Amino acid sequence: MHVLWSLIQPTLSALSPSPLPFSLRWRLLIFQPLTALIFTFKALPWILTPNSYSVHHLPTRAKHSLRTLAFQPPSRPTPDSRLRPLVLLIHGGGFVGGLPDMLAEFAQTIARRTGAVVVAPTYRLAPRWRFPAAIDDVDDAVNWVVENAEKEWGADRRCITVCGLSAGGNLAFATSLGRREVKGLVTFYAPVDLRLHPRAKPRPDNFPKSDPLGFLQELYDTYASDAKKECPEDPRCNPIFAPLDDLPRNILLQIPKIDILLHEQTVFVERLRNEARGRGELLEDGEEDLEGNKRRIMANFYEKGFHGWVELSKTMVDQESWTMATESSFDFINEVNGANGYAF
pLDDT reported for residue 50:
66
Give yes or no for residue 135 having a pLDDT over 90.
yes
Tens-digit pLDDT profile for residues 291-315: 678 999 999 999 999 999 999 999 9
Dihedral, CA of residue 10, residue 165, residue 247 and residue 54, to nearest 10: 80
* Strands ordered across the beta sheet of 84-90: 54-59, 65-71, 117-121, 84-90, 155-165, 182-188, 250-258, 296-306
What CATH number labels 2-282+293-339? Answer: 3.40.50.1820
The chain-wide mean pLDDT, for the chain, equals 94
Tens-digit pLDDT profile for residues 63-89: 999 999 999 998 655 555 679 999 999
pLDDT reported for residue 69:
97
Give yes or no for residue 32 having a pLDDT over 70.
yes
pLDDT top residue among 91 and 42 = 91
Tens-digit pLDDT profile for residues 145-176: 999 999 999 999 999 999 999 999 999 999 99
251-265 in b/e form (b: 16+ CB < 10 A) is bbbbbbbbbbbbebb
Q: Average pLDDT in the 126-136 region?
A: 97
In the chain, where are the structural domains located? 2-282+293-339
Asked if residue 133 lies in contact with residue 59, where contact means CB atoms within 8 angstroms, the answer is: no
